[in-house]
Chain A
Amino acid sequence: MIPLDHYLLLSAILFTMGALGVLIRRNALIIFMSIELMLNSANLAFVAFARSFEKASGQPLFSGQLFVFFVIAVAAAEVAIGLALIVAIFRIKHNVDVDQMSSLKG
């Protein structure tokens, strides 16, 4: 048997690692991948909770799984826009290092 808290613990660990990746990495592409990791860990918690409520109520509930479906669709849109932004910035700066992107700094 696998208790619910195992999934939640794993989800929390993966989310924290994603957040850490956003904070400590300087490459814009890797920061983006860390955001994907965070979204993914939230999805895992969603499905685990959905399964838990399904077991508790004794009838099939698909709302949690459908939310994950929507999150995946939104993530796809986000990646398309984000990568387009990175490509546009690379054309100007010839770099994807976020420390170099300080043009607005006074």
Chain B
Amino acid sequence: MDFTLIFFYVLAATAVATALGLLLSRNAVYAALFLVLNLATVAVFYLLLGAPFVAMAQITVYAGAIMVLFLFVIMILGAEKLPKGEVLPWQRPLAIGAAALLLVEAVYLLLQRVRLTSDLSNPGTWENSMDALRQMATLLFTDYLLPFEVTSVLLLVAMIGAIVLTKREKGEPA
């Protein structure tokens, strides 16, 4: 068994364990920190797959900006303590059964039609070079220029929407 495969298994175990931590932790702050660790692990997978730009975007945007926003909201609302009671007692076992079914289906459908032998390890020096990044940026600003501009409009709309949603109306009590 070679070194990259062992490395992969360790990282995969970390990713699954942190996702479990997110599911099971009773404190929302711990759940957020578990998710940060999970996102960082996935960023390392991106590096293994020869996608350094995506890995860095993952760290800065997801693990940085988005999760800080999450922690900020959790702490500002004081919503970290979670209630224990359940309204629908049968809902949890049903959900677990449905999720298991989803997993079986997804694994079956994904693995059925893929060439399983293709080897993804060891990105060369080229994938991590400045040249590759330049080529990707060129593609982003030529073939994908319209989606890029639409994304900027979407972010603007989200910004305005967030401000409007959290703004207090005139005369509304604080």
Contact = CB atoms under 8 A, between A and B. Distances in A.
Interface of A: 1-21, 23-27, 29-30, 32-34, 36-37, 40-41, 43-45, 47-48, 50-52, 54-56, 60, 62-63, 65-66, 68-70, 72-81, 83-88, 90, 96-97, 99
A33 B123 CA distance: 31
Contact of A51 (B28, B50, B65, B79): B50
Contacts of B15: 10, 14
A76 B165 contact: no
Contacts of A9: 107, 110-111
Contact of A37 (B19, B70, B111, B115): B19
Contact of B69 (A1, A34, A37, A83): A83
Contacts of B102: 15-16, 19
Majority secondary structure, A binding face: helix
B151 A33 contact: no
* Interface of B: prevailing SS: helix
B77 A90 contact: yes
A24 B162 CA distance: 27
Contacts, number: 244
Contacts of A80: 69, 158-159, 161-162
A78 B95 CA distance: 25
Contacts of B65: 76
Contacts of B144: 66, 70
A13 B115 CA distance: 20
Contacts of A88: 165-166
A51 B140 contact: no
A35 to B, nearest CB: 11
B57 A72 contact: yes
5 contacts: A12-B110, A60-B132, A81-B162, A88-B165, A90-B77
B165 A21 contact: no
B165 A84 contact: yes
B54 A69 contact: yes
Contacts of A85: 165
A12 B121 contact: no
Contact of B61 (A13, A20, A76): A76
B119 A3 contact: yes
Contact of A6 (B8, B50, B132): B8
A56 B77 CA distance: 50
Contacts of A27: 28, 79, 82
